Structure 1
């Protein structure tokens, strides 16, 4: 390999090898690591995987996952990215294979994302590469490994999506495509991370706007970015809009004990994962005290935003008080430790910028940072090994809880993790998470998790078959009379019972939209589908074509050999 080629691909090579290093212990030991969010997300991705495999597409209702209940999840939770995860599930061939593959892909994306941010901030490779590797060992990324917390996927893209703020600070102008793609990308992956990104953007764009002499041009570029971002995300925000206009959806649970999930209380492990991160925290405090007066204004803003996220991740903010008073922002956040993700990114960026200033110490800094990254890798490997061993010792795949319902023995559940029949595990371990189901009656006094389990998970005696047109059919035997069905009905859900279309106003629906129908004697058949509004179908194709157009635009620049970089690293 020529030296120039090696230098070009060196960052990617190191990140790929390091990502493989992180999954290698689990691969060798066959450790099974399932966290609290695993079954919910695995149902989402199983849904997408089976639709891809069987070419039975249902953009809205679940026809494979979530007990084939017809509930809507993926359409309001990163639909395009869910299909990407579905591809990983198919490539993984089993849930164990998917765990390894998804961890590896997450590591590569997160490493390249952080590296690109550091290069945008003009950090040399001696500093940027090892810090990118170190980022992979922080709990922001390991959250997916340990608990299948989907926030880690947002954390993987967040550094890259922060580049427009750095660019605007340096050059006082907006690159409309870059800004639009950055916002749209994170929006398509994880909605809460979009909120983090906007909070990160605001101080830098306000500062840059008042610094620039071309305010009208910047406003025009900004409006163009907003318009393009709306086109690139129309499939998500329009789906949320029309579903909430016509349905009352059950939001994710409200955490009444948020004070226990801050980094200075029950979630302090975010600070010490990995241990070298503590040195960055201490070093940043010292640097801030010593250099504050001599800092450039934009660096003060960078430090201030970092400190804001640190504060938000602690109990310095009265989170419980806010939740008790029904403040929506606090209810949306759920766990204050999530704010430590952008704090981690900004901390590593600040650390890299500080070390990059000491030219004579760069080689030494490179070795020290590499050692830090290796310490982080060892710590991550030990943590995953211990969690897998604890699960094996106590004979569980997913730790038992009030809302986790299991079937079969531990050995059968564990074997299902390695089985190519992906549905097997989801039948043996079920969690009654009711997010986004429609609510037709008051839920006051109900445990929504238990109610969902009763109405959907524990209903037996029904055979469910997916049809080629993406609809779902239920059959059951009856002696006649009323039968409540384990499917969920939204305003646009279409039901055909024994070849007769059921009108919405004729339906008798439970609190969570389970229909009660009059069965005939013998075999009954109900077909469930979803009527997609014409305007949404149009918006969906606009979104797809806009993304494809941008990809072709990028390829055109690459083929022509033009420099498509919007922010030079030198």
Structure 2
């Protein structure tokens, strides 16, 4: 990579060494961190990994993970990144190794991503390296390590995705292909992070467009980029269109206490993790107040956009009022502290630019950074060790939150399952009710988490499930000819075949969340479950694949020519 050709070996080596150092506590202690989102992401990674292993690609229904319930998750959570994690899953002997490897990759991705952006902005290598290492210790990245929050992968990728922004600011032009590729990659990784990325570009573009004398050219370049972006993400758009057309989908839970999830309340750790990040924030605003007349325009723009995200992540926005009045956009956001992720990135970038432009005393900065990074490292390691210590307890070793069912009373057996080569074992022993994105047929007036546990988790032990080709087979013994609940979720395009006979809609009884009930026969029963993809989706999937291949070929071809 060009960024590491000059003074880059040191930077890359430092990033690799820090990544190793940060996974060392877990590697040495051999302890797991099963955070609030771990079971959800482990299930979808397991499903993707098994698809790759058995060459049985099922874009929609889950045949391996999520209690083999045929529920749909993949289209809602970054398909490309999910399959990349499936590869990591296959290369990892156990869940413990998967966690170590994914953590290491995340750290390296974050460090290299930030280093590339700072290099593109011509920030001196020594400052770029320190700021990149500092970025690796922020809670934006630790969010995956400590809680398995997938926003961290969007955070690690975001500096890469901001590379085209440099040309937009410096040259007042849009490089359509890189912008489309990076935005498409973020959309295929984490949809909410892609929304944040687009908001950053929209704010910068709006300002520059207003003052530009070449508005037509900018609009043409932007239009081409948007067109390419839609082609690169057509698989997601078409699958969402298919799922939301003609059926109601249960959205993620509404956080009615979202005013607590801000950097000015319970999520203040985002601001203080690490503490030098907070110091840099104060220094930045102090320097602006003292020297705002001489500040470079780029730094002013970055500070303006950064301030917007800071405000959005705080209680300066009346989140409690918005959520209690059922404002839709507030219900979708859930956790305002996630707005602090782009603010963190823009803060570090702006500080690098201030150092480059001499707006900050180099002598004072060098003295500060001599203890800034070690302090950040120590603070991060202490937090890691504290979180890892829960694994040694009898009752709190799983930090997975509410709605968790543990099917084994022996704690040692549960813990050992995460170190077992049979990765399905842990997912069978520890299950979490997560009703997000299930079909909604009517309102039972009951807690959806309890309904999922009752209809899927509690019923699952009564049946045998296996995968055959493109179908999920459910087997059980029936003692009477009566209707029984089968732990399978039915969407509009889900096809069911009971004992060799295709079931019509009239022969299937559905719960409010799509759990099916069918009439069994005495003796052996077999239900075949499959999903019929529409021709429109198949066409969009192929078009997306060919567009990605075409873009990659163009980049490689242009590079080869140069």
Whether these two folds match at TM > 0.5 is: yes
1:196 and 2:196 aligned: yes
Give the equivalent residue in structure 2 for 1:568: none
Conserved in 2, the CA contact under 8 Å of 1:391 and 1:399? no
1:34-433 paired onto structure 2 within 5 Å:
34-358=34-358, 365=365, 368-369=368-369, 371-399=371-399, 401-408=401-408, 409-433=410-434
Q: Structure 1 residues 548-557 or 47-56, which shifts more?
A: 548-557
Runs of 4+ in 1 over 4 A off after TM superposition: 359-368
Deviations 1:437-486 (A, max 9, x none): 1010114x31111110000011031100101x221000110022111110
- In 1, Cα distance between equivalents of 2:493 and 2:370: 55
Give the equivalent residue in structure 2 for 1:567: none
Give the equivalent residue in structure 2 for 1:488: 489
- Give the 3-state SS of the residue equivalent to 2:439 in structure 1: coil
- Give the 3-state SS of the residue equivalent to 2:104 in structure 1: helix
Deviations 1:275-327 (A, max 9, x none): 21121011012012112233344432221111111111111111111111111
- In 1, Cα distance between equivalents of 2:196 and 2:233: 17
- Give the 3-state SS of the residue equivalent to 1:310 in structure 2: helix
Conserved in 1, the CA contact under 8 Å of 2:295 and 2:359? no
Give the equivalent residue in structure 1 for 2:454: 454
TM-score, normalising length from structure 2? 0.95
Change (3 A) 1:307 1:166: same
- In 1, Cα distance between equivalents of 2:399 and 2:108: 29
Give the equivalent residue in structure 2 for 1:565: none
Conserved in 2, the CA contact under 8 Å of 1:396 and 1:410? no
Conserved in 2, the CA contact under 8 Å of 1:126 and 1:366? no
- In 1, Cα distance between equivalents of 2:272 and 2:484: 54
Shift of 1:367: 7.0
Conserved in 2, the CA contact under 8 Å of 1:19 and 1:104? yes
1:500-519 paired onto structure 2 within 5 Å:
500-519=501-520
Conserved in 1, the CA contact under 8 Å of 2:113 and 2:160? yes
- Give the 3-state SS of the residue equivalent to 1:307 in structure 2: helix
- In 2, Cα distance between equivalents of 1:432 and 1:255: 17
- In 2, Cα distance between equivalents of 1:546 and 1:486: 38
- Give the 3-state SS of the residue equivalent to 1:527 in structure 2: strand
Change (3 A) 1:47 1:384: same
Change (3 A) 1:136 1:367: farther
TM-score, normalising length from structure 1? 0.94
Deviations 1:251-295 (A, max 9, x none): 110000011111111111111111211210110120121122333
- In 1, Cα distance between equivalents of 2:384 and 2:336: 23
Count of residue correspondences:
556
- In 1, Cα distance between equivalents of 2:112 and 2:394: 38
- In 2, Cα distance between equivalents of 1:413 and 1:288: 54
Shift of 1:209: 1.6
Deviations 1:87-130 (A, max 9, x none): 11111211110111011101111111111221222211111111
Shift of 1:426: 0.5
- In 2, Cα distance between equivalents of 1:207 and 1:192: 23
- In 2, Cα distance between equivalents of 1:481 and 1:43: 32
- In 2, Cα distance between equivalents of 1:365 and 1:356: 11
Give the equivalent residue in structure 2 for 1:521: 522
- In 2, Cα distance between equivalents of 1:298 and 1:36: 39
Shift of 1:503: 1.9
Conserved in 2, the CA contact under 8 Å of 1:207 and 1:298? no
- In 1, Cα distance between equivalents of 2:373 and 2:535: 51
Deviations 1:544-568 (A, max 9, x none): 11111222222223333x2xxxxxx
Conserved in 2, the CA contact under 8 Å of 1:141 and 1:153? yes
Conserved in 2, the CA contact under 8 Å of 1:187 and 1:194? yes
Conserved in 2, the CA contact under 8 Å of 1:118 and 1:352? yes
Structure 2: runs of 5+ lacking an equivalent: none
Structure 1: runs of 5+ lacking an equivalent: 563-570
Give the equivalent residue in structure 2 for 1:566: none
